[in-house]
Amino acid sequence: MDLAIDQMNALYQRLRDLDPKAFEDLCFQIISARHPDANITRANGAGGDMGVDIFQGDLAENPTVWQCKFFPNGVRSPQKVQIRKSLRVVLQHFKPRRWILCLPIDLNANGHTWFQQLKKEYAHRTDVGLFQASQIVRELLHRRAIRNMFFPGAVLEPTELRSILAHTGEYSDRELHQLTLENVEQYLQRLRDRDARFDYQVMFLPHGDLHPHSSPLPGLIATVTDADKRIDVFARDIEALQLDPPKVHVTVKGEGARKLQHAIETGNSVELGPGELSHFRSSFDFLLSGKPDPQSRVLKLEPLRRHRSKQFQFKTMFGARNSAVLYESIPFSVARQGTKEVELISVDQDLPFRMSMVFPISPNSVPHEASFSLQARFIGREVRAVRKFVMAMKALKESGNIELWDVQREVRFFEAKMSFELFPEASESLLTLLDEVCEIADVFRARIRFPKTVSQEDQMSISLLLALGRGGEAGLEVQGISCTLTKSAAHEGVFLDALDAEQTFRFEVGRVTPMPRVFGTEVDTGPCLVVAERATITDKERVKRKYLSAAEGEGVVVHLRLLKPATVILRRAVGSEIGTDGQAPGANRRSDLSDSLRSEG
């Protein structure tokens, strides 16, 4: 990092050491490299250039003009006067759409305030821009050939050192790995030297599968592949690319012409292969290895995917009258747009479905026809949302009605009566399952998400929780109960009598444990009363010895064998029926249940 800062500082200083002509030469070289196909021209003649040093386009037709002012010691009042004069002169002779001031220094805060005022003052006549030292240095760091032409030796070139030191004879695996990285970096630097408007990413995979990305990466504008590598091209210098966009010149014939026209009209991707392309050339030809066989070339065009595209909010109703299901606001974004149609897709990832709408483009703000598609995405979504969508599809199937309102404009956007050739049937068993699980989620305040599969454990837990929720109690299929009794002189006689006979034991617990799991979600029942109506204490002699030898207040672990299934009762359903302390005589209140005769005690 320190080396990079030193190199930048060195370039800042060397920039100020130039003379006015050399500074103008440098600006011309950088601007020409930034806009290689934009017809950048230099105006000769000091003082007689009518306020133009460098320009792009036709001077008679709204050119872009660069004015170079070599002010190495800053911009003060005299320099501001000169800048204003140059701007006035160029506006007297031409109608530039943009006028850009080039400086070998960076403006300070006061200078930027003044320049922003200048920009506002002339905004009705031209767009005033600034190309100052920090931007020039950044371009020099990316443009080695220009940097070495004007400032040889100003920056240490790691790739040049590596190329000298690379011939080291025998390599270890680590050395070979490092050398490979260095070679790739040299290759990338060579690509940057060819066109520094772009950043590059390269993947080598000899004899491998190097298809383009299934979904474009942010900033990716082109991908070039051959037999053993893929080069991804990303936009770096956005301003330069806007003025001089990359170009592709291709002649399409036969079926390819129809496919391309369809892609232009719909905004869909298209792949043109051998026999459909001829006379192909582009701004990316320098990335091709040699001269590829024309019969092997494939051109794939993808629609531009905007990662921050505008969203549209639609209130959506499926069905009609009492059975209608309403979504107050579903966000949509543009998936593709051609000259004749546009596709909007829903972008809310929490919804258990994905909705797509394709409308023809027309002068009317409200479309008269559309095609819809709905794709279910249940797994991992909240069961209430899944149930709502299933009910929406049921309502849509019954009536065919769908209505959309533009939430932002508060107007009806689209209304239609739909017809279905094929429509998925929602089975009664699925609806019943969703009704039951949603009921459990409401009663026990649980967030349950739809699973990939429904297990036997799910079915058992659903039965238990439904019984608890609806009736307040349920049978508990366990083989035994373990608890810890606290020795108490007051209860000693009752406990010893219970050793030799069937008894009814009652325990108050904080929740049923292990907690029932529905679709992988643990459901907390809350406080419960567990009643074992017919139970005996196992290993009586051991328990008796432990109890009699225990000190007052000491705990003794007791295992109960159930002769009849236990009953679990929700605490809110029993109220004060538990009794004075809600537990068996001497029972610890933290007793837990399991199907393996274990308890936390």
Kind and range of the H or E run holding 471: helix 456-471
Query: Cα–Cα distance between 335 and 269 in angstroms, integer?
Result: 11
Dist. CA 378–CA 450, nearest whole Å: 6
Is the separation of the CB atoms in 382 and 350 below 8 Å?
yes
Torsion, Cα 292 294 296 298, to 10 degrees, reads 100
Confidence at residue 577, expressed as pLDDT on a 0 to 100 scale: 38
Q: What span, in angstroms and rounded, lies between the C-alpha atoms of 137 and 147? A: 9
Confidence (pLDDT) at 591: 36
Do residues 433 and 466 touch, judged by C-beta distance below 8 A? no
Q: Model-level pTM? A: 0.60
pLDDT at 37: 83
Q: Which residues are paired to 311 by β-bridges?
A: 333
Assess if CATH 3.30.360.10 describes domain 2-150: no
Task: In the chain, list all ranges with CATH 3.40.1350.10.
Answer: 2-150
Query: 331: cis peptide before it, omega within 30°?
Result: no
Given a cut of 50, the residues of the chain with pLDDT beneath it are: 1, 3, 46-47, 161, 164-165, 168-169, 574-601
CA 61 to chain centre: 43
> Distance (Å, rounded) from C-alpha 492 to C-alpha 586?
8
Provide the pLDDT for residue 597.
27
Burial class (CB in 10 A: 0-12, 13-18, 19+), 352: buried
pLDDT for 218 equals 77
Which residue, chain included where needed, has tokens 């051998």? 274
Q: Position of tokens 């009609």?
A: 320
d(CA 248, CA 259): 17
Residue 412's closest CA among 342, 369, 365?
365
Distance, CA of 467 to CA of 573 (rounded, Å)? 12
What's the CA gap between 445 and 241, in Å, rounded? Answer: 55
Q: Which two tokens stand for residue 180?
A: 């490979």
- pLDDT confidence of residue 498: 75
